[in-house]
Amino acid sequence: MAEYQYPLRADWSTEEIVSVIDFFTKVEQAYESSVEREDFMNHYRSFKKVVPSMAEEKTLCKEFEESSGYVAYRVVKLARERKAGELLKV
């Protein structure tokens, strides 16, 4: 379990909170071991349904980076550059 807090918003539903936490967990996984590209992208798409605004995404990812040291943008960029079936490792 992480020793930091995930950036969450009080107006999100439980399902939305789970989607956001799952996305940030996949970011952690890309740093700590590896994550399958399609699995990561599925979680990113779910995250984007909760946070469709790019500005809000940047804010949340910056909050996550400040508390965890993990850069979500780096993993998203890597995922976009890779092909299906490849592993993501930062």
Q: What pLDDT, in 10s, does the model give residues 24-66? A: 999 999 999 999 999 999 999 999 999 999 999 999 999 999 9
Q: Quickly count: other Cβ atoms within 10 Å of residue 85's Cβ.
A: 8
Domains of the chain, by residue range, sit at 14-88
Instruction: Say which residues have a Cβ less than 8 Å from residue 47's Cβ, sequence separation at least 6.
Output: 19, 20, 22, 23, 57
pTM value is 0.93
CATH value of 14-88 in 3.90.950.10, 1.10.220.80, 1.10.240.10, 2.40.128.640: 1.10.220.80
Backbone dihedral angles phi then psi of residue 49, each to the nearest 5 degrees = -65, -35
